[in-house]
Structure 1
Amino acid sequence: MEYNTRHNLGSSVVADDGRELPLVTYEPAQAPVGVVLVVPAMATAASFYEPFCRWLAEQGFRAVTFDYRGMGGPAQMRAETADVDRWFADAALILDAVADAADGLPITWVGHSLGGQMVPFVDHGRLAQVITVAAGDGYWRRNAPRIKWVTPLLFAVVAPLAIRVAGYYPGSRLRMLADVPAGAMRQWGRWCRHPEYLQADHPEAPGLFASVKAPLMSLSFEDDELLSAESIKHLHDWYVNADQVRQRYSPAQLDGRRVGHHGFFRKANVDLWEELVLPWVASAV
């Protein structure tokens, strides 16, 4: 399918410190009926969301996604100084650019994992609605059982040593998560060891979450290898003033299919996009 480029959204956004933040935009063949901003999970490249974004464009929506600072090869990882707060600030700037170019079209935020945690830190008043996918708080005691007791060792021993040796966290080589810049990994580890997660650095977070009033749909899966049902509930309970629909699926409900933490965005699950995502985003049009 051919995609046009009829929009005034540039190929990048210039951050407040001068850094260019590249955008990946998928434009429908006809004038878009809405805009979807796909906000990645930790250590997940924008290219991972290409099938989902292309499908959104085929449904008539402009789809936009991006990489967090530092995503790339080892040299880029070592040179990166950003922490997770910097990623949040970048996402806020990107939303502003997407909204400015939307010409009044409704904007849906699709936040995968980390992307579902940062809504309170952006101008969410510009959002028509929010979809979170496999998003929970990261406190280690609320992790999925298979990783719960490994996580303290990861953040207290493995990650600091690996960062000292490699200059970044080489998770893909260690087969423990994926590659993450040092500053982001250190801050995330601090959050994951705090019972209220990002409130370790953001005591103001409850008020920020309470300020979110956009309708919100949470999608989660029982076979998520990272987050438990308790973790997902804990995060979404902070969104006290958002009208919420929470949907959680077992493999049995999906004909034995495994979805896990990342699988929802794989092309094999297009039927779930049609059943769960399309009615939601279309409802704002």
Structure 2
Amino acid sequence: MSRADTPADLAEPVALTCADGVTLRGHFLARSGGNTGEGGGLPVLIAPATGVRQHFYLRFAAWLATRGHDVLVFDYRGVGQSLHGPLKDCQATLAEWGQQDQVAALDWLLARTGQPQVLMLGHSAGAQMLGLLPNHHRVARLVGISASTGWFGGMRPAFRVAARMVLCGLVPLGIRLKGYGTCSAVGLGENLPAQVALQWGQWCSAGGYATNAVQQGAANDFHAAVRTPITVLHASDDNIATDKTVADLLRTLPAAPHSVRRVHPAELGYKAIGHIDWFRGSHKALWPLMAQALRAPG
């Protein structure tokens, strides 16, 4: 990458069509270096966190491409470039982000690269929905960054009270007033479609996250069938992905072998990492940890 180039300049804009006809927008970065040993050569699907646009990940995606991976990142329906029309008119649900959007993104990347499987790097919600994907077996490894269920009961008490008040109080109030989740006003990233925002609060209240989407539809529930190896990386100062909420996620995928690494900011010379900072240019020392987890054997 030259100094004049930006990650967006190097990325190819692409359109992904879901089974229900919804079009998503993403960016594809062809691998530009690195080796193909120990997991190199397999493409990487970056699945964003709730309320985070794809462009947040492009710098990391460009870096990953120089390490030998084709990379796809995309916006979920109702977010960023995948929002079509006024947000208040968007009928997207959180369940559809897994059952439709991640499925389509995975199929597109498999078709584009001709590979039998991909590596999936999910940030927060991006790693919570594998049990909703009928094509989950095409994921060779899932690396979850700040990945957990966000279960209120597993959070530290003070943060639990604040999170519940925001997701179950202020956000529903914003929906009644505006017709959509006014998440940006309360520090929760991008504004969201109403049903996405409501389900977010409901699933965090119940625990088990995406299992709440399939309680009435066993035919669409693949949680027990997933055998994809999972690695979770989370920071010790993350108020959302705590030891308890990470464990709550992993219990939903009982047959999947897993490992967890809790990273202390001081280990890498940082004062803080939290839930989001893993992908910031200021925290590049974390990027080799994520690449190493993607290339882990087995």
**Is TM more than 0.5 here?**
yes
After superposition, the Cα gap between the structure-2 partners of 1:206 and 1:146, relative to the gap in structure 1 and judged at 3 Å, is farther
Once the two structures are superposed, what CA deviation does each residue of 1:164-186 show, in whole Å capped at 9, x if it has no partner?
Answer: 11111112123355421111011
Secondary structure in structure 2 of the residue aligned to 1:180: coil
Percentage identity across aligned positions? 26
Single out whichever of 219-228 and 35-44 deviates more from structure 2. 219-228
Once residues 44 and 66 of structure 1 are traced to their aligned partners in structure 2, the CA distance between those partners, rounded to angstroms, is 10
Which amino acid is 1:22 matched to? R
What does residue 255 of structure 2 align with? 241
What does residue 171 of structure 2 align with? 159
Secondary structure in structure 2 of the residue aligned to 1:232: helix
CA contact (8 A) 1:106 1:284 kept: no
The count of aligned residue pairs is 279
Secondary structure in structure 1 of the residue aligned to 2:113: coil
After superposition, the Cα gap between the structure-2 partners of 1:45 and 1:281, relative to the gap in structure 1 and judged at 3 Å, is same
Which amino acid is 1:103 matched to? G
Once the two structures are superposed, what CA deviation does each residue of 1:94-151 show, in whole Å capped at 9, x if it has no partner?
Answer: 1111112222265110011001111121212111111001011122122344420123
CA shift, 1:257, in A, is 3.2
CA shift, 1:261, in A, is 0.2
What does residue 121 of structure 2 align with? 110
CA contact (8 A) 2:42 2:117 kept: yes
Long gaps (5+) in structure 2: 6-11
Aligned pair partner of 2:55 in 47, 50, 69: 47
Once the two structures are superposed, what CA deviation does each residue of 1:52-93 show, in whole Å capped at 9, x if it has no partner?
Answer: 101011112111010011114896322211010111121111
After superposition, the Cα gap between the structure-2 partners of 1:182 and 1:242, relative to the gap in structure 1 and judged at 3 Å, is same
After superposition, the Cα gap between the structure-2 partners of 1:272 and 1:202, relative to the gap in structure 1 and judged at 3 Å, is same
Which amino acid is 2:77 matched to? R
Single out whichever of 62-71 and 239-248 deviates more from structure 2. 239-248
Single out whichever of 122-131 and 9-18 deviates more from structure 2. 9-18
What does residue 150 of structure 2 align with? 138
What does residue 80 of structure 1 align with? 90
Once residues 90 and 169 of structure 1 are traced to their aligned partners in structure 2, the CA distance between those partners, rounded to angstroms, is 20
CA shift, 1:29, in A, is 3.1
What does residue 23 of structure 2 align with? 20
After superposition, the Cα gap between the structure-2 partners of 1:137 and 1:256, relative to the gap in structure 1 and judged at 3 Å, is same
| Length-normalised TM-score, structure 1 | 0.87
Q: Moved runs in structure 1, 4+ residues, more than 4 A? A: 204-207
Secondary structure in structure 2 of the residue aligned to 1:279: helix
Secondary structure in structure 2 of the residue aligned to 1:169: coil
What does residue 9 of structure 2 align with? none
Aligned pair partner of 2:107 in 88, 96, 101: 96
After superposition, the Cα gap between the structure-2 partners of 1:35 and 1:176, relative to the gap in structure 1 and judged at 3 Å, is closer
After superposition, the Cα gap between the structure-2 partners of 1:77 and 1:148, relative to the gap in structure 1 and judged at 3 Å, is same
Once residues 198 and 221 of structure 2 are traced to their aligned partners in structure 1, the CA distance between those partners, rounded to angstroms, is 25
Once residues 205 and 118 of structure 2 are traced to their aligned partners in structure 1, the CA distance between those partners, rounded to angstroms, is 34
Which amino acid is 1:135 matched to? A
RMSD: 2.8
Once residues 106 and 197 of structure 1 are traced to their aligned partners in structure 2, the CA distance between those partners, rounded to angstroms, is 25
1:193 and 2:193 correspond: no
Which amino acid is 2:153 matched to? R
